[in-house]
Every structure is written in C-alpha cells, then in structure tokens.
Structure 1
Amino acid sequence: MVATTQEQSASPLRQGLQTRQLTMIALGGVIGAGLFVGSGTAIKTAGPGVLLVYLVTGGLVILVMRMLAELAVAAPATGSFAVYATRELGHWAGLAVGWLYAYHWCVTIAFEAIAGAAITQQLLPGIPSWAAALLFMAALTGVNLAQVRSFGRFEFWFALIKVAAIVAFILIGLVAIVGLLPGVPAPGLSNLTGHGGFLPNGWSPLLLTTLVVFFSYFGTELATVAAGEAVHPAETVRRSMRSVAWRILLFYAGSIFVVVMLLPWNATAVTASPYAAVLERLGIPGAAFIMDLIVLTAVLSCLNSGIYSSSRMLFAMARQGEGSKALARTSRSGVPYVAVCAASVGGFLAVLANYFLPTAVVFNFLLNSSGSVAVVIYLVIAVTQIRGRRRAEAAGESLTVRMWGFPYLSWFVVAALTIVLLGMAVAPDKRDKLLLTCAVTAVAVAAGLIVQARRKGAK
C-alpha cells in the first residue's frame, strides 16, 4: 500500500479536482443515453416490474462502490481498481481489468458520439449525422487535452444540467401522480396493476433486463479513477463515493418510478423516449424538444467523461508497465495527451463508420459489442476487495472506510454478479453478448499472464 501511495505521489498528473467536481464527474459518466433512451427497452421488456430491477441492481452497485471506496480511500491512485487488482491478485489481473475497462469506455465513447449525432439530426435535419459526431468528438477531445481543472469545471456544469433536469422531472411527475397538476387526473395504480399487471411477462424478463440496467449504472467508479488528480485524494474520494451512490439510485429508481406510474408500459412511445412521452402526456409544451436537448446534454457529458476515464486508465496501465510507455507521456499542464488521443480513436472510427453505414447499424453494433464487460469488472472489484481486506487485517492495517458486513456481503456480491452472468448464458438473446465478453476477457487475461510470465523470467 505504501508503494502505491509513493508511486501516486510521483505521478506527473496535476491535482486540480475538487470534491464537487469529482462527484459530478461520476454522475456525468452514469447519466447518459442509457437512462433517457435505454430505459425504454427495459420497461418494454419487463413492464412496471422493471422498477425492481433498478432498485436491486442499484443496491448491488452501491455495495460494489462501498467495496471500491474501501480500497480507494486507503490508497488513492489514478487507475483505481486496476492498480488494486495488480497489488492483490497479480499483474495479470490488473492488466486484464484495466484494458477491459479502457475497451468498454472506448466503445461507450463511440456509442455516445453516434447517439448525440442522431439527436442533433432530429433537431437540425440539415446536418449529416457523421458531421455532428465529428464535431462532438473534436470538441470534447480538445476539452480533455486542456488542464484537468478546466475539465473539472466544464464537466461540473455539464453534469449539473442533466441532474437538474432529472430532479425537475421527478418533482413534476410526483405532483402529477398525487393529482395536483392542473388538467391531469391522478393515475392511481392503473398503470402498475393494469395492462397485464405488475409483471405482465413474468419474472424471467427481469433477469434479461439486468444487463441493460447494469450498462446504465456503469460509470459510478469514475470518482476513484480520477482520485490521482483530486486536491485531497482520500477525503475527496470518501465524500464523493458516499454521495454518488445514493444519488444515482434516487435519480434512476425515482425517475423510472415516475415513468411506470404515469405511462402504460406497453405504450408505443415508451421504447422511443419514455421521458418525453411522460412530459407530452402531462401537457408540457415542447416536451419532445426539451427532452432532446436534455438527452443531448447527457450524451455529451457521458462522452466527455468517457474520454477522461479511458485516458486515465490507459495512462495508469502505462505507468505500471502494462501498456505502451508512450501512453504515460504528459503535457506541461500535466495532461496525458497521448492517452487522451488514444481513448478518442474509437469515437473517430465510429464517425468514419457512420459516414459509410446507416446510423442504426453502427449504433446497434456498438451496443452489442460492449457486452457484459461492466459485470466482469464489478466482479473483479469484489474479489480484489476480499483479498485486500484479508491482507490488511493480517498486516494489522487500519481502514478509514470499511465494507459493510464483511465478509458476508462481499461474498453475496460475488454470488449475485455470477448469477447475472449465468443468467445471460441461458438467455438466447443475451448469449452472444456474453460470448463476446468472454472472448475479450480471455484475450485480456492471456495478455496479462504473458506479461507476468515475462516479468518473472526477466528477474
């Protein structure tokens, strides 16, 4: 642990992120198209019962974040769980999970670029989607090449817009639910118990929608990835992780509750844009246009955070000798500019593909290729925390933040995540994603084992 701290203190990155900025970076990475658009698919599949999926999955994510907070507060480091996996499980594990994480965010960057371009084309039909995607990628790559303090300020206000929008949506929805909105009768429980009931398609669709929900929640860990650039790393990470967890659950579960209460789960508009459909039903003027602007803001914020998180992970891997040394190069302002450019490659390739292929083809391909990497990474975090706690207790180390109910809740998380992966294996429409994730994971693990074997041979 001491070695990790010393390594971090020698990092050429600048410490310029405040607690409020770190919290917003984490929120910015989570609240994107997965919530505003992807939730429609989950609702259509599982019905009103999807609320249980968001609550249970959100609770599971909070447990994972508590486990990660225990590790991160003890030894804040850029690279977060990849650094801890190297320390507790070996270089093969750190290399594998670090590159899997960078891969996931590179795909997400491309995913958000295409999503933002599609929304822009709806608002301004005269602009080709590939041109909008190129503009977004160029602008946000430039933001990430600036000082980290500037990035933090930019992302703070960017994320604040969508957080404020979600809070306003929940408040308006609650007013409508209790029947206090003029001209809108209280829906009661008609949309929960009617149209086939709370679970119109049974229990099995709940497991099938878990992957979609996991994809939406993924990004909460950004606060620990950015720890190396926080002004007071340990305290900042502790505060931000404590606040981010319950806020994410409130925003997701709260807004989904409003949607399923005010809108029939089988309404045609649910799949396209459930939030816009709710506002239109409540008679909010220009609801579709307002939601398009909010979704665009959310997408660009997530894209911005994706470039940041992926670049910092690539930088951390290079610093540990688990990536090209070029990725560890920094500018005079302390920005890993090579890693930023490398992280942006996926988005620019998506722009190129979007020029030659229909938007839907690229969009669906990127979503499917992301697979279930998020679940695998959370599983590694859980195993790393279990190993780390046992090592710390054996060494008599004191921990400022501790995982609740250790070791029982920690092993519960491992079991729950394993069940999610097994559930994907038996679901025909999820099996391809799982196989792709297994293939990518196998390549990453094999690379890690080869690098570890070479290191031992060199000694």
Structure 2
Amino acid sequence: MNNETGFARTLSHRHVAMIALGGTIGTGLFLGAGSSIHRAGPAILLVYIITGLFVFAMMRALGELLVSDDSKSVFIDFMTQYLGKRAGFVLGWTYWIGWVVIAMTELTAIGTYMHYWFPDWPVWPWELAFLIVLYFVNTIAVKIFGETEFWFAMIKIVAIVAMIITGLILAFGHVKTSMGVTQFSTLWSHGLVANHGQGLLSTFQMAFFAFLGVEFVGITAAETKDPLETIPRSVNSIVIRILIFYIGALSAIMIIQPWTNYQAGESPFVQVFSGIGIQSAAAVINFVVLTAAASAINSAFFTTGRMLYSLVGEKSRFKKLNKNAIPQSAINLSTLIVGLAVVVNYLFPTKAFTLISSMASAAFLLIYMALMVTHLRFRKVTKGQKSHSFQLPLAPFSNYLTIAFLALIFVILLVTPATTVTTLLAALWMVILTVIAFFKLKKN
C-alpha cells in the first residue's frame, strides 16, 4: 500500500524498532566503551541514564510530530513547515551530507575490519563489494532493507546479551578467572568516579554520540505500516532498550574485571572475553563491528535517498520513484558520492575522513536542537488541537531543558581541544548554507 508521498508502507514495528536500536549500538560500545570507563569509572552508568532521559524527550517530541501528520516523507519536512523554507533547506542538506560522510567513514572502516582477516589484500575491493551489495539491498525492496537491518541489529544484540549473561553467571557463581574472583562488588569496590570526576563532564558527549542515529525513525515513518501505532511503540521502547543494553553491558564489563584495568584504546569486550579464556574474542568482536559498519552504510543509503528526494524540486530527475516505490535516482547519486571513499582509499591515505566525520557529528547536535525548537513551534501553532494522545510530557519545559542539555554538549565539544576545530567547521558549514538559503529562497 502506498501513501500520499508515493512510498510503500512495508516496514513493520519489528523492523522500525530494530532499525533504530541497531543504528545506535555500534563501535561506540564495542570499541569505544573502554575510553568511557577509563574517564568516568562506574559513574558512566549515571551519565548514560541522564543522557538517555534527554534523548527520550527528543524522541517523544519527534514522535508527536510524526503522528500529527503521516503525509510527511521525512522529519525534516516538519522543520520546513514550522521553521521556514530557509531553515528546512539548511537543516535538510546538513542532514543529507552528514549521512553521506558517515557512510564514507564506515566504508573506510569496513576495509580496516576486513584487513584483520586478510592482511595481505588491498582494502578497496572489500569496500567496493560491500558498496554494491548494500546498494542493491536498498533499491530492490524496502522490506529487504528492513530485514537486513533487523539481522544486523540482532548480531549486535546477541553479542551484548552474551556479555550480560556471562557477567551474571560469573558473579553469581563467584567464578575465578585470570582477572580474579568475579563478584558484584567489583563494580564499586575500586571507587565510583575516575580521576576524582575530572573527566566526567567530557563523557556526556561520548554518551550522547552513542545515541546518534536514534532519530532514524523519523526517516522510516513514511514507509511504516500503521504509523499511528508503530511510531509511538517504537519511540517508547527504543531509548529504554538502548539504556538496558548499554548499562547492562557496561555493568557486566566492570563486574567481571575492575574498571581500573581497562585501557582507553582497546575494546573492553575483547579484554573481558580474552580474560575468561575465549581466544577468538578479537575475531568475534571484529565481525560484530563489521556488521555495525555495514548497518550504518545501509541506513545511510536509505536516509540520503529519502532526504534527497525530499529536498529537490518536483521537476528534478531525483524526484522519481522506481516500480518498487523507492527513490532509486536519489540513492544512485548518494551511492556514487559515498563510492568516492573507495577511490580515495585506493589513491590516498584516509585520515581526513576522521576530521570530516567528527564535523558531521557536531552538526547532528544542531539538528537535534532544531528539532526541539520545531516541536515548540508546532505546539504554539496547534495550541488546543490535540488530535492524538502521544505527546511530549512536561512540554514546553522539557523542550527548554533538552535544548539546554544539547547546548551543553555542543559547548563541551567546542572547548575540548580534540573537537574544537570540527565543531567550528560544523558551525561554519551551517552559516554557509544559511547564506545560500538567504539568497536562493524567499522567506515564508
């Protein structure tokens, strides 16, 4: 069944929930959690809970917008409606280029992960192979995309559940490993905060970026079955599930091995599984992060195709759907741009991608803040018109608090030496787009 946008509604609640869940569980947990633990200690659990509450507020605001008008093809359309065409132009193209860059960096990562098993092979053929396969996944049928994302997410979830169960079994049985006797008190017996809290504030940015991509529900809405039922269910469950998986996994990690033993540059999953005698731990985690990278590219193709379709004019060649109600022309262009990563990796070193991807991440913060402002405008325009019961609790106070929290993360990025340049570049990018929009579009 096709909706007003022409897209087919073939994604089920199972697909949507796992798509958003899988999109936020990736290298940040499997590879980067060691750095979070090193900086904050067990206090990282509280950081995730606080961050999760604000992300939940953002998702409830997004959910309220989505169920208010299911004719919108992407959530950026709400920003255009309530903040103006110029704002929609800036935010839409920022979101599109952000996902394109993320796909390029993840494609580069795939080459690195495959190099683990095939050290003597060049990385670019692997990148090209994944690019082609994921392109066809996105252009054959939306349901195939949904199923692919479902199983990508399932692989990551199985790894996390295995970690949690392992921690519980070892702790209840007081099992002795090479790291000592496993017990629950290991979590707090070495202190609750690392370095007397000196690095605690910086971990909020790390926790926030762990949730990056959760807004992907706002891209799938136009192709979701029964959106008035599916979107609220997905929004309500996603953040809770993410918190359970992150907090559960991090707790298990710090129960099995004292948090003081983890190194910032190493995967805590590999350290734990290797410590209890699983020698293939590094290979297993390499496979998991490989699927995480493939999942990110898969989501990027889906997102950039729909975004480009939404951003261009009605007469554009990219404003066309194929026989399966998929914006194939828009996906073709996005794929070609992402494919430049293969060429760059063949010809030049790829260190520049790290800088660019960090800039994209900072831009997402600005988009999330704009989303909360959009919800404020929506509430003001539709005051007293409650067409549904799925609403952001405690609005507008929750809006202002969430905006303040996101602004704090942005300031942390700005004053942190490692991210100052990329944050300024993100702001500069949006200023340039704003100037273009000012001359290109009329104020509405």
What TM-score do the two structures reach when normalised by structure 1? 0.89
Unaligned residue ranges in structure 1 (runs of 5+): 1-7
Q: CA deviation at 1:39?
A: 2.5
What amino acid does structure 2 have at the position aligned with 1:329? K
Match status 1:259 vs 2:266? no
Match status 1:333 vs 2:324? yes
Match of 2:333 in 1: 342
Q: CA deviation at 1:253?
A: 2.3
What amino acid does structure 2 have at the position aligned with 1:425? L
Match of 2:374 in 1: 384
Secondary structure of the equivalent of 2:64?
A: helix
Taking structure 1 as reference, are residues 131 and 366 closer, same or farther at Cα in structure 2, changes over 3 Å only? farther
Say which of 133, 156, 164 aligns to 1:139.
Answer: 133
Match of 1:317 in 2: 311
Structure 1 distance, partners of 2:193, 2:71, is 44
Secondary structure of the equivalent of 1:126?
A: coil
What amino acid does structure 2 have at the position aligned with 1:437? A
Q: Contact 2:322–2:328 (CA<8 Å) still a contact in 1? A: yes
Question: Displaced runs of 4+ in structure 1, greater than 6 A?
Answer: none
Match of 2:287 in 1: 293
Say which of 317, 332, 353 aligns to 2:344.
Answer: 353
Q: Contact 2:41–2:260 (CA<8 Å) still a contact in 1? A: yes
Q: How does 1:264-283 map to 2 (within 5 A)?
A: 264-265=258-259, 267=261, 269-283=263-277
Stretch moving more, 308-317 or 200-209: 200-209
Write the deviation string for residues 80-122 of structure 1: whole angstroms up to 9, x where unpaired. 3311111111111212211111121111111211122211110
Q: CA deviation at 1:382?
A: 0.7
Taking structure 1 as reference, are residues 123 and 383 closer, same or farther at Cα in structure 2, changes over 3 Å only? same
Q: Contact 1:78–1:316 (CA<8 Å) still a contact in 2? A: no
Structure 1 distance, partners of 2:386, 2:325, is 32
Structure 2 distance, partners of 1:426, 1:276, is 32
Structure 1 distance, partners of 2:121, 2:209, is 29
Q: CA deviation at 1:381?
A: 0.9
Q: How does 1:301-312 map to 2 (within 5 A)?
A: 301-312=295-306
Match of 1:372 in 2: 362
Q: Contact 2:372–2:403 (CA<8 Å) still a contact in 1? A: yes
What amino acid does structure 2 have at the position aligned with 1:75? D
Secondary structure of the equivalent of 1:28?
A: helix
Match status 1:185 vs 2:175? no
Secondary structure of the equivalent of 1:429?
A: coil
Q: Contact 1:331–1:337 (CA<8 Å) still a contact in 2? A: yes
Secondary structure of the equivalent of 1:145?
A: helix
Secondary structure of the equivalent of 1:428?
A: coil
Write the deviation string for residues 142-195 of structure 1: whole angstroms up to 9, x where unpaired. 21111112211222222222222212222212323344546561244446453x
Stretch moving more, 383-392 or 126-135: 126-135
Q: Contact 2:110–2:293 (CA<8 Å) still a contact in 1? A: yes
What TM-score do the two structures reach when normalised by structure 2? 0.92
Aligned residues: 441
Stretch moving more, 256-265 or 59-68: 256-265
Structure 2 distance, partners of 1:78, 1:253, is 35
Q: How does 1:13-28 map to 2 (within 5 A)?
A: 13-28=7-22
Q: Contact 1:67–1:402 (CA<8 Å) still a contact in 2? A: yes
Match of 1:120 in 2: 114
Say which of 83, 105, 112 aligns to 2:99.
Answer: 105
What amino acid does structure 2 have at the position aligned with 1:40? G
Match of 1:5 in 2: none
Structure 2 distance, partners of 1:149, 1:341, is 19
Q: CA deviation at 1:363?
A: 5.1
Q: CA deviation at 1:387?
A: 1.2
Taking structure 1 as reference, are residues 48 and 156 closer, same or farther at Cα in structure 2, changes over 3 Å only? same
Match status 1:439 vs 2:435? no
What amino acid does structure 2 have at the position aligned with 1:343? S
Stretch moving more, 419-428 or 133-142: 419-428
Taking structure 1 as reference, are residues 408 and 332 closer, same or farther at Cα in structure 2, changes over 3 Å only? same
Structure 1 distance, partners of 2:338, 2:151, is 23
Structure 1 distance, partners of 2:318, 2:259, is 47
Say which of 31, 36, 51 aligns to 1:42.
Answer: 36
What amino acid does structure 2 have at the position aligned with 1:159? A
Q: CA deviation at 1:271?
A: 1.8
Structure 1 distance, partners of 2:71, 2:435, is 25
